[in-house]
Amino acid sequence: MFEFGGLTLVFFILVLVVASLRILREYERGVVFMLGRFWKVKGPGLILVIPGIQQMVRVDLRTVVLDVPSQDVISRDNVSVKVNAVLYFRVIDPAKAILQVEEFLVATSQLAQTTLRAVLGKHELDDMLAERERLNQDIQQLLDAQTDAWGIKVSNVEIKHVDIDETMVRAIAKQAEAERERRAKIIHAEGELQASEKLLAAAEILAIRPEAMQLRYLQTLSNIAGDKTNTIVFPMPGELMNLMMRPTKKAD
């Protein structure tokens, strides 16, 4: 009878030891409670948790990729858009993640949704489309500051899609076309202004140096002489006409 009781005790101890053993992977930590009170953070490796007296909560320290659902956002210029994003964060303090907030994954997701709407609502639609890097950084810094008390580090936020209503897409296309036409007219006007300035400078030089005008005249003749279809009319200077008319006047 004594031997049976001894075997029973040994078996009970073995079962208790086996039940007390926990194996935590390299990326896991165990938040251990002693009679309901926080005791310590253990792991990784083989740890001992006394059943009935101690309880352990596993916490994953790897980076979590959280998809933020599509949010309805009204921009500062009163344009309604749908925006979704992806959030990268990890737990750096397992004790705070368990003690300071209930279900830190859900809490971080909800906070990311409200922060996304709050930050994007302060910007115009053009900023959402052209300044994504700056908006990503603003959202990441704001989330990181708010989740620091939970022992969570937000490493990155990426805005994935900004969905715009089809009527607004057509309006943006018209605006872009008008902007291109405006730039084309400005470039054409600047070209005309520069050309007029160069022509004025050339006219001033030719007025000062008559021989330069003669050189330009000869160069023009050289250019048009290569085309056989052109008819070249040589203007006769007035002085030459006067010399030709003098013998006629004398005869009369």
**Cβ-based neighbour number of residue 237 at 10 Å:** 9
For the chain, domain boundaries? 6-60, 64-164
Residue found under tokens 């006047």:
249
> CATH for 64-164?
3.30.479.30
Q: CA–CA separation, 164 vs 162, rounded Å?
A: 6
Please give the pLDDT value at position 13.
74
**Cβ-based neighbour number of residue 111 at 10 Å:** 19
- 60 within 8 A of 27, measured Cβ to Cβ: yes
- 101 within 8 A of 94, measured Cβ to Cβ: no
Please give the pLDDT value at position 216.
67
What percent of the chain is modeled with pLDDT above 70? 77
Which token pair is 76? Answer: 């500062």
29-38 burial code (b ≥16 CB/10 A, e <16): bbbbbeeeee
pLDDT in tens, 177-217: 787 888 888 998 888 888 888 877 777 776 776 666 666 66
pLDDT in tens, 17-60: 777 888 899 999 999 999 989 999 998 988 888 888 899 999 99
